[in-house]
Amino acid sequence: MQTKPLIGVSADRTMIGAHPSHIAGEKYLVAVVDGAHALAVMLPALGYRQPAADIIATVDGLLFTGSYSNIEPHRYNGPPSAAGTLHDAARDATTLPLLRAAVDAAVPVLAICRGFQEMNVVFGGTLHQNVHTVQGRDDHRESKDDDLDTQYGPSHALHVVPGGLLARLASGAPTVHVNSLHAQGVERLGDGLTVEARAPDGLIEAVSVTHASTFALGVQWHPEWKFATDPLSRAIFRAFGDACHDRLRIRTGTGVADGSLVNS
């Protein structure tokens, strides 16, 4: 009998030599296995070749990862990207319909960085393609000259909205500190999303799906990075994993979901 939930982890399509390949960072997979106490399976960016409904019927949760690529701006009626901007049309064609299908089917979702932006776009929101060029916004990019520990180290405060899902995960703390490694950010919030936290410059950095019947959280930072050393990151993956365990019990008919965090 299956005892651990199966969590699908979104992959990027990239070229390795002359061959199209699909990759997902190990840090996401480790956080799923050790933080959510689940089985991780990488979902290739094959679009229509793997219908969202078939994936939804198989998994107990979905993690949408960060990426160096940006969502193609036509997906949210945005202006053309600057020359040289990295896009991943295959990922867009896979993750955007899959994310919405997961929410509609009550499959738990954790969306990180690009995944957070995908969540906003799926619900009709728009994106700033270069936050640092927007008047009143800070530069949220990392310095690629720094080592990884510096890049992923705490970068700015995060003001948590009282009474929300993230506030409960943060044990009611009004402010936490998070890393910051993104150029894009939310411009207009998608319909049906609730703001969970903002950066000091007012940029939305965490959202939840307002009427979701299970865990559905998007965060702009990277909680998967050395998650075990950060209380909020541990709490995020633990809550996500608990929701996926609930989904497994429902899917296999072995029990009733608790849903205590979502409905409390």
Distance CA 242, CA 54 (A): 23
Which residue of the set 128, 224, 244, 245 is catalytic?
Answer: 224
The verdict on whether 222 is a catalytic residue reads yes
Burial class (CB in 10 A: 0-12, 13-18, 19+), 237: buried
Which residue of the set 128, 222, 244, 245 is catalytic?
Answer: 222
Distance CA 251, CA 185 (A): 35
Which residue of the set 113, 196, 205, 244 is catalytic?
Answer: 113
The verdict on whether 244 is a catalytic residue reads no
One DSSP character per residue, the chain reads: ---S-EEEEE-EEEEETTEEEEE--HHHHHIIIIIS-SEEEEE---GGGS-HHHHHTT-SEEEEPP-SSB--GGGGTPPPPPTT--B-HHHHHHHHHHHHHHHHTT--EEEETHHHHHHHHHTT-EEES-GGGSTT----PPPTTS-HHHHTS--EEEEEPTTSHHHHHTTT-SEEEE----S-EEEEPPTTEEEEEE-TTS-EEEEEETT-SS-EEEESS-TTTTGGG-HHHHHHHHHHHHHHHHHHHHHHTS-----HHHH-
Positions marked active-site: 113, 222, 224
